[in-house]
Amino acid sequence: MQTAEVKVRQYIKENRIKGTRLLQKMVQEPSTRGEESGAQAVVIEKCRELGFEMDIWEIGGDGLAGHPAFCSDRSNFKGNPNAVGIMRGTGGGKSMILNGHIDVVPAGDVKDWDREPYSGYIESGKLYGRGSTDMKGGTASLLMAMEAIKNSGIKLKGDVIFQSVIEEESGGAGSLATVLRGYKADAAIIPEPTNMKLFPKQQGSMWFRISVKGKGAHGGTRYEGVNAIEKAMLVIDRLRKLEMERNERITDPFFDSIPIPIPINIGKIQAGDWPSSVPDLAIIEGRMGVAPNETQEDAKREMAEALSHISNADSWLEENTPVLEWFGASWLPGDLDPEHELIKVLSESFKGVKEREPLIEASPWATDGGILSKVGGIPVVVFGPGVTETAHQANEYIRLEDVFESAEIIALTLLKWCEISE
């Protein structure tokens, strides 16, 4: 008689074509901001086919916009809902949230793609298209895992709460809405593209803007002005030093393979409006990484103090203090004890499929895990198929073998975590 583990693994192996078609349909539906509904419909149809209890709603209520963790410049979510499907357990077991985001970043310049960005084209075991790695491949793994358990006639004791959310790429409003709607569990897995590594710790991040004032003058008598670009260079030098100081404090071995665990990235500089004029304003915009064990407030305070030190060292900046603002996207960090039972169960399942121990590291980027853990109080591990190097790039792809293996690992994890009902 086959064990439950053998049954679900065999089901996934025998239904790879079915799983591939599901992922292909998801990728072929573009789901950039404000256009998530088509891909979400594919997911909802699959959940209904599996007989899940469904909750589909347009986010924006439940005190969402007023919550301290809310971050979005979008005021209208109409027509692009969140979707939650529940595979209800028989009772007495631990519950699990499986969380995936349906939104994708824009395709960029179509000329950089070898084929149409939403083709879902398959070649040499890889499925190509925007969102294939980040993170529709992971969502397909979740659905395949749940389908394998249900269609193998296995009942679990604990509930499995599948979430397909919008707005992850812009700060996590979709996942925040699920928490505020009351969806919590004993643990959560988010299958972002980790290259099959386990991430119990996730970097947070925030966008910043620094306005540096100068004094305008004619370029021919530039000595009568104060060049805002040159003063901005002093600010950037201080930010580089701050980055070094912050990263020197990080000794967590999970960051050993990451050259800069919590970077401060300068992403945009705007200054001047005429080559023959001394610019009187420079605006620096960037992204500040937040360590898993620190708060966003502490990180903000440290940057503000660094800017005050540079101002004290320069007479012009002392009189014209750079103005620091926090705007746009913001992601909370996540920090799970590596000895947590979820890590042990997921690692066991990984070893059962891959026949080796998993690599456990810290995430070099932010995810919705910070919202689930910090706001919802839910232990979170990020684990899934796909590699970061192809995400957000032209010719994004995912290895289908990774999708299937992730589905097997997640299915085995659900059997162990939620427990099989006799």
Catalytically active residues, by annotation: 103, 168
CA 51 to centroid of chain Cα atoms: 28
User: How far apart are the C-alpha atoms of 137 and 22, rounded to whole Å?
Assistant: 10
- Comparing CA positions, the residue from 331, 232, 323 lying closest to residue 272 is 232
Beta strands in 264-322 (DSSP E): 264-271, 277-278, 281-290
User: How far apart are the C-alpha atoms of 8 and 151, rounded to whole Å?
Assistant: 9
User: How far apart are the C-alpha atoms of 237 and 287, rounded to whole Å?
Assistant: 15
User: How far apart are the C-alpha atoms of 79 and 46, rounded to whole Å?
Assistant: 19
User: How far apart are the C-alpha atoms of 378 and 10, rounded to whole Å?
Assistant: 31
Q: Is 384 helix (H, G, I), strand (E, B) or coil?
A: coil
Tally Cβ neighbours within 10 Å of residue 129.
29
Q: Are 418 and 153 in contact (CB under 8 A)?
A: no
DSSP 250: -
Beta strands in 7-95 (DSSP E): 53-57, 82-87
* Strand partners for 165: 101
Classify strands 96-101 and 160-165 as parallel, antiparallel or unpaired: parallel
- Comparing CA positions, the residue from 148, 112, 155, 142 lying closest to residue 130 is 112
Q: Which tokens go with 193?
A: 């593209």
Q: Which H or E run includes 329?
A: strand 323-331
Burial 393-412 (b: 16+ CB within 10 A, else e): bebbbbbbebbbbbbbbbbb
User: How far apart are the C-alpha atoms of 184 and 241, rounded to whole Å?
Assistant: 40
**How many residues does the structure list for the chain?**
422
Q: Which H or E run includes 381?
A: strand 380-382
Q: Which H or E run includes 14?
A: helix 4-14
CA 212 to centroid of chain Cα atoms: 31
User: How far apart are the C-alpha atoms of 234 and 275, rounded to whole Å?
Assistant: 21
